[in-house]
Amino acid sequence: AKANGKAQAQLFHEQMDTDYRYRQRLKADLAVCVAANGLTLVYQPIIDLRTRRVVCCEALARWNHPEFGAIPPSVFIPIAEETGLISDITRFVLASAVAECRNWPDDIAVSVNISARDFRHTDVKGMVEATLRDSGLPAHRLEIEVTETALIEERDAATKILSALQAQGIGIALDDFGTGYSSLSYLQALPFTKLKVDRSFVVDVVHNPRALKLLKNVVQLGKDIDLKVTAEGVETEEQLAVLAAHTKVDHIQGYLFGIPLPRRDVAELIDRLAG
């Protein structure tokens, strides 16, 4: 057993070493990719529950690694935050998303994720204002998504910047609501226009009455303070039916209405749902 334990410890350390080297490799390759403008964007539609039309599309970054294939954002975004590459990524996503939005009907907005590190190291306000000015997109067609993590880490900076942007008509969404800490205090202090309820509240609503009660009350909470509420991660007709019958949710995002799509395909989907 002792020999076995030793062998396992050895394996463990080899694995750690491999993971470490893999991560270092990804770090270096991501820098090359970003410098060469090699990231791409996909857009996921967000649908109005009543009209069944697209109201917004969320821009999501994609990295297709030449050797390892698709690297998920849950892997490369934290690396980008750690290395500082996130500034360049956010700038790229914002500029591309705003430009793409101009091709859509003018009642459809675009949303972009801003990370904690952006509030610390990037002039988010200046960047957003310059991007809108250069593109001519009206402020109300842009929405910024921030998570509680961003707010915990950079509360004062984020509050100032987001308030200024909101005053100009830009939408501000609290993303992944319900997965972080002390969410309610952020709702009081920050200028949100929208609440995005995390997928974890939606996943069980069909079979678990407690899950439904929780979701219903989280949605109600958002409505009570005059926010639009989006349910994330809606995958089935059954979930949609329960949401429509038992909650006051405004908007739906999830694989049921559309996975994140390249720009051409999302334009087609917008047309189809409008027709």
Strands (E), the chain: 40-48, 54-65, 69-71, 109-113, 142-147, 171-177, 194-197, 228-231, 251-253
**CB crowding 188-222: b at 16 or more within 10 Å, else e:** eebebbbbbbbbebbbebbeeeebbebbbebbebb
Q: Kindly tell me the sign of the dihedral angle through the C-alpha atoms of 122, 123, 129, 133.
A: negative
Q: Contacting Ca ion (CB under 5 A), which of 118, 143, 145, 154?
A: 145
Q: What kind and span of H or E run contains 271?
A: helix 263-274
Stretch that binds ligand C2E, among 25-33, 179-187, 238-246, 252-260 (CB under 6 A): 252-260
Q: Which is nearer to Ca ion, 144 or 240 (CB)?
A: 144
Stretch that binds Ca ion, among 29-37, 69-77, 81-89, 172-180 (CB under 5 A): 172-180
User: Scanning residues 221 to 240, which ones bind ligand C2E (CB under 6 A)?
Assistant: 233-235
Q: Contacting ligand C2E (CB under 6 A), which of 46, 56, 60, 98?
A: 60
Q: Which is nearer to Ca ion, 145 or 148 (CB)?
A: 145
Q: Which residue is nearest to Ca ion (CB)?
A: 145
Q: Which is nearer to Ca ion, 29 or 172 (CB)?
A: 172
Applying CB under 6 A, the site for ligand C2E has a residue count of 20
Confirm or reject binding of residue 69 to ligand C2E (CB under 6 A): no
Considering only the C-alpha atoms of the chain, give the largest distance between any 2 of them, rounded to a whole number of Å: 69
User: Nearest CA to 144 among 160, 117, 121, 124?
Assistant: 124
For the window 253-272, what string marks contact with ligand C2E as x by the rule CB under 6 A? Answer: xxx----x------------
Confirm or reject binding of residue 72 to ligand C2E (CB under 6 A): yes
Q: Contacting Ca ion (CB under 5 A), which of 143, 148, 154, 175?
A: 175
What does the block give as tokens for 168? Answer: 């100009």
How far from each other are the two terminal CA atoms of the chain, in whole angstroms?
68
CA distance 38 to 120: 25
Contact positions vs Ca ion (CB under 5 A) = 113, 145, 175-176, 232
Contact positions vs ligand C2E (CB under 6 A) = 44, 60-61, 72-74, 77, 93, 113, 115, 175-176, 199, 233-235, 253-255, 260
